[in-house]
Amino acid sequence: MSRTRNAVWFGILLLTAPLCPAHAAESVAADTAWPLYGGTFSEERFSPLTRINKENVGQLGLAWSFNDFVVRGRTHRGNEASAIVVAGVMYFSGPWSVVYAVDAKTGKLLWKYDPGVDGQWARRTCCDVVNRGVAVWKGLVYVASVDGFLIALDASTGREKWRADTFVDRVSMNYASTGAPRIAGHNVVIGNGGAEMGARGYVSAYDLQSGRLAWRFFTVPGDPAKGPDESPDITLARKTWSTQSRWDLGGGGTAWDSMVYDPTLNLLYIGVGNGCPHPGWIRSPGGGDNLFLASIVAVEADTGRMKWYYQTTPGDSWDYTATQNIVLADLNLEGGIRKVLMQAPKNGFFYVLDRVTGKLISAEKYTTVTWADSVDPQSGRPRIASQADYSQTRKVIWPSQAGGHGWMPMSYSLQTHLVYIPVMETPMVFGSVPAAGVKFRSGANNEGDQVAFVVGPVDPALLRGQPQPVMQNRLEAWDPVSQKVAWSSKPMPIWSGGALSTAGGLVFQGSSDGAFVAYDAASGEVLKRIETGTAIMAGPISYEIDGTQYVAVLANFGGAMTAIGYLPGTAPAKYQNNERLLVFRVGGAAVPLPPVRTALTRFPLPAAISNDAEVLKRGEEVFERCAACHGFRGRLNGYPDLWNLPPEAHQNFEAIVLKGAYQYAGMPSFDDVLSAQDVRAVHAFIVADSIQLRKEDHR
């Protein structure tokens, strides 16, 4: 590691170190921290530590674990955060935006902060009430609650210092916040989610100390009938939208994950998401690129004014967000060292951009891609293939809406100069719906398409000469200079975790089958595999205290995959799916496995509520709203099984669904979209089908 990089790490540590607890002063000198979301402002997710290395990683074991994530009786949810370590204290967030501070050496809980999110807000999230992390700066911890508040906490006590409402509309749009705040100059910045639900994207910046709004950058135009454009940047973007655009659905473009700050250039790079509705022909009849959807936008950190933009997927109709993690680096390219920005967004191309100007340097496929043939090096635009158009007929298209790379962070090694990408390989059947049928629904998806993962035999007419579908993950080592694969891991179950590279010559990644694996960073050889029994999606981190290096990762399945169910081969299909934080060191112990799932106790069923065919048909139609979270016929997922409810749930079914009797636990009320008649119908359908299912099981 260069002297310059050593100085950068030490400077960050001093700036972020909290004043308390009492042992902090000793720890500043004794530990090497992980002070920012991606390690440094460049977010390489590379650790300069070497005490865990290729020679001794075979002795890696559990140092300690933290399991106290249950909040007020709520159901278990996904763990997606990356922890931060400053002055011997580890700060991390869990489901429902709860923040924890623990002793990074022992795991002892120092404090816990619960923002008190209303369970009703679970309806506003496309992908679970998860949280991807906190920011820590000069004695304050910042977290974005899922219901849209940016909150500053005292790092030593967890007491709330200030709270800012980041949502511009809490009534007619479906906003949620699941991303980690970022430090950018004098401000802390946060985006939001909701593009699948109906929202207009933006990023807000707040003064670090006072919480005062400094600026707001909207990522797509708003309804012109509601007022003038907020900035010349939005006026520029509006030219790329149809005048008949569906402003009632917000346009999308939410910046729900990656934002990276360059202190030298004082620029904030924002990854912008997909449109709403998904199909461009419904969202913006007549076409258009629809800026700044699926774009990387560079803005001045002090003012929020745009410096440049680059759109990865013009007119995006496939949910190909550019919200995946962005890495800043200095690459040795033809002509010398270039300041670059690197991203592997959902669309399957790996981009290297000049981060000063936004000019495209290179873009090549890092996974199977059939929606576009290539990216034109001069214009920077994709050469879109005929297979991409599903406006008239259903098509199988690679990648799926999950992307070639999801939110799970990639890592760039300053040692090997390779990027380690958690690649997802799976296509999706895309189909459109009639435009007239797309209407805003509060607390519901408003995507405008019909899609499905390919999990069985496929009609050859749909494939049209494409590769046979698979559904898997790989860890891929990518050379960003030559734009080629250096090595690739064996396949693993889809939705596996983020990556961490280290100066010890290692790459760490957890997977959805519960394995935590250490690879040789240069060759891809598996050097250590630890079975944890808990699916891992989050990105690992590493830090050192008193001469001992640790590797930590948060674990538990959830997020977008909860609605799909636990697929065969994933850990939750075998073991109980509870939140955990696992911390490893050389010489550690074996990881205790969670309890194995046993046959569930079958609660007695009530008598059939109705045998009327029309009532049961209506109940099945209504159930489509429930299936996204609860699954069908007890398919494993993170929510209660409606086919095996306890008697008290049947007795109070209407109160639960309409009046929010279980709202505190995360089951919101649906009285705004369902009638009492609807609820009785869906209850009748569930009971009738439960009776039928048990008859089938006894054959």
Tell how strand 46-47 and strand 499-502 pair up: parallel
Other Cβ atoms within 10 Å of 154 Cβ, number: 17
Cβ 205 vs Cβ 189: under 8 Å: yes
CB 173 within 8 A of CB 200: yes
**Centroid of chain to Cα 65:** 23
HEC secondary structure over 266-289 = CEEEEECCCEECCCHHHHCCCCCC
What is the torsion angle, in degrees rounded to the nearest 10, for the CA atoms of residue 130, residue 132, residue 135 and residue 136? 80
Q: Which residues pair with 112 in a beta bridge?
A: 100
CB 190 within 8 A of CB 204: yes
Nearest-angstrom CA–CA distance, 693 and 605: 11
Burial class for 102, CB neighbours closer than 10 Å (0-12, 13-18, 19+)? buried
What is the C-alpha to C-alpha distance for residues 434 and 427, in angstroms, rounded to an integer? 23
Q: Is 460 helix (H, G, I), strand (E, B) or coil?
A: helix
Two tokens, residue 126: 């496309």
| Size (the chain), residues | 699
Give every strand in the sheet of 46-47, ordered side by side.
46-47, 499-502, 506-510, 515-520, 526-531
CA-to-CA distance for 23 and 87, rounded, in angstroms? 8
Q: Is the dihedral of CA 91, 93, 94, 99 positive or negative?
A: positive
Strands (E), 537-578: 541-545, 548-555
For the question of residue 520 being annotated catalytic, the response is: no
The single residue of 31, 233, 319, 513 carrying the catalytic annotation is 319
Structure token digits, residue 697: 């099981």
AA identity, residue 548: T
The first and second tokens of residue 452, run together, are: 């499905």
For 477, the token pair is: 């080592």
Q: Which residues contact 267 (CB under 8 A, 6 or more apart)?
A: 261, 298, 299, 300, 301, 307, 355
Taking the C-alpha atoms of residue 635 and residue 566, their distance in angstroms, rounded to an integer, is 8
Which pair of structure tokens corresponds to residue 315? Answer: 């007119």
Maximal C-alpha separation, the chain: 77
Query: Please, are residues 56 and 50 in contact by the beta-carbon 8 Å criterion?
Result: no
Q: How many CB atoms lie within 10 A of CB 4?
A: 7
Contact 608, 600 (CB under 8 A): no
Contact 184, 265 (CB under 8 A): no
* Residue 86: count of CB within 10 angstroms of its CB: 29
- Distance CA(198)–CA(296), nearest Å, equals 21
Going across the sheet that includes 99-103, the strands are 84-86, 89-93, 99-103, 109-113
Q: Which of 525, 515, 505, 537 is nearest to 418 (CA)?
A: 505
Of 124, 132, 271, 255, residue with least CA distance to 202: 255
Q: Give yes or no for a contact between 176 and 191, defined as CB atoms under 8 angstroms apart.
A: no
CA–CA gap between residue 423 and residue 473 (Å, rounded):
6
Give catalytic residue positions: 319
